[in-house]
Amino acid sequence: MKLVKPSLEWKEQHENYMEEWGLDRMVPSSMDLSGFHTYEEFLVALEDRATGKEPWVPSSHYFLVNNVNQIVGMIDIRHELNEYLRTIGGHIGYGIRPSDRHKGYASNLLKEALTKCKELQISQVLITCDEDNIGSTKVILNNGGIEDDVFITEEGQMKRRFWITLQ
């Protein structure tokens, strides 16, 4: 398993992953290809996010790739928090390919992301999830998440919020 940055090389694998993901809302949303005419266009938009072009805060994006070069997961690390991220989005968003869930990949992916956070000198990492997302809650707890107050969105959705302190 390795983390790689999205690039033209991963176009086919990324499209294949999207196909398997189906109609559910893509997580992380930064990796959603729908709405782009070409892969090149997606990469330019992702670079805008990475460099913190308005309205984005600077961020890092990775694919988790297995030993046959298939993308099994995706992760997005926001380097700082704005109002939306402090209440709803958190520092990190992740998703795992549907056929590769329940194999421990998300727990490991978050662990790898926390190493990246340390390199970025983010000492307190906020991770959020929907109140009914049992899988994601376990992933966060597996990585030492300490629960903070919940946040209720304007739509009435309850977001659980967890902090992980990095030494």
Ligand X SMILES: CC(C)(COP(=O)(O)OP(=O)(O)OC[C@H]1O[C@@H](n2cnc3c(N)ncnc32)[C@H](O)[C@@H]1OP(=O)(O)O)[C@@H](O)C(=O)NCCC(=O)NCCS
If one asks whether residue 133 binds ligand X (CB under 6 A), the answer comes out as yes
Give the interface size with ligand X as a residue count (CB under 6 A).
19
If one asks whether residue 142 binds ligand X (CB under 6 A), the answer comes out as yes
If one asks whether residue 129 binds ligand X (CB under 6 A), the answer comes out as yes
Provide the residue type at 96 as one letter. I
Nearest-CB residue to ligand X? Answer: 135
Q: Report the residue number, 27 or 125, with the smaller CB distance to ligand X.
A: 27
Q: How far is the CB of 100 from ligand X (least distance, A)?
A: 7
Query: For ligand X, which stretch binds (CB under 6 A), given 53-61, 79-87, 138-146, 148-156?
Result: 138-146
Query: For ligand X, which stretch binds (CB under 6 A), given 34-42, 134-142, 148-156, 158-166?
Result: 134-142
Task: For the chain, give the secondary structure using H, E and C.
Answer: CEEECCCHHHHHHHHHHHHHHCCCCCCCHHHCCCCCCCHHHHHHHHHHHHCCCCCCCCEEEEEEECCCCCEEEEEEEECCCCHHHHHHHCCEEEEECHHHCCCCHHHHHHHHHHHHHHHCCCCEEEEEEECCCHHHHHHHHHCCCEECCCEECCCCCEEEEEEEECC
If one asks whether residue 69 binds ligand X (CB under 6 A), the answer comes out as no
Among 47, 104, 132, 148, binds ligand X (CB under 6 A): 104
Residues that bind ligand X (CB under 6 A): 27, 94-96, 101-107, 129, 133-136, 138-139, 142
